[in-house]
Amino acid sequence: MGARPYPSEATRRQGDKATGRATSRKLWRFEERMHDVLVTGASKGIGLAVSRQLAKAGYGVIGVARSAPEEEFPGTFLRCDLADVEDTARMLKEVTRGHAVCRVVNNAGIAQPQPIEELDLTVLQQVVDLNLRASVQIVQALVPVMRAQRFGRIVNITSRATYGAKDRTSYAAAKSALVGCTRSWALELAPDGITSNAVSPGPTATELFRRARPVGSEGERRAIASIPMGRLGTPDDVAAAVTFLLSDEAGFITGHVLDVDGGSSLGGR
């Protein structure tokens, strides 16, 4: 599973000698770059775990986030404020100029919980903009290369909040809209060999989660109580699902939302 390994220059030359054909170095490098994956929100949490697993699987990872990671990043890291349309366009121009990206993970997002009667409409716009508009803008920029190669993988990170979540009107709306995009893109892009899926995490022990619900807190207890498996998810749990959906082997799976939540989205409990 994962990226196909590419032989060294010496191995390539040996193959050319054996077959009597010369392999275009430019084509070789282009094919190798097709294994690049763009990951947003890559500096920590789920995005960083995804980046690590992808690098381990042999992909070239291009990570994007507003702030740099605190530790060495397993690939190329680009600073970009995805809440800024122009900065996002600048980053995408740089990425598409130097890479043939046929795989993308739209992970960046914000929640900003507010009860409905106190919901600030400016906050609603901000949450929808980063969770939805940025993902749409990124896919728009990358789809032409995917269509040209008749291959592509889009994975959107959504949330258990799409089933409803207290004080999460903005976040649930944005992530639900992203589910709609996921399925619409699946129908639209399938004829060109491009898949579009979503991974929907439940409560996951990220830095953000721990700031709101420290170990041993009542908030942590309530979160765990909602999960039939009796534990929080880890960023690596989510990354494993993402890595599979990006793989060559997942080519007949599209329009699917994969819940990675320990069964917490199931009814009948």
According to DSSP H, which parts of 99-234 are helical? 121-128, 134-149, 169-189, 207-212, 218-225
Contact 63, 225 (CB under 8 A): no
Outline where DSSP puts E strands in 17-75.
36-40, 60-65
- Alpha carbons 51 and 60: distance in angstroms, whole number: 9
Helix (H) or strand (E) holding 17: helix 9-19
Cα angle for residues 172, 178, 181 (degrees, 5° grid):
145
Nearest to 203 by CA among 163, 156, 144, 248: 163
Contact 45, 105 (CB under 8 A): no
φ, ψ of residue 99 to 5 degrees: the values are -145, 145
- For this structure, is 171 an active site residue? yes
Contacts of 158 (CB under 8 A, 6+ apart): 175, 176, 178, 179, 182, 198, 199, 200, 257
Helix (H) or strand (E) holding 96: helix 85-98
- Report the DSSP pairing between strands 257-260 and 103-106: unpaired
Point out the catalytic residue in the list 6, 59, 163, 171.
Answer: 171
> Catalytic residue positions?
171
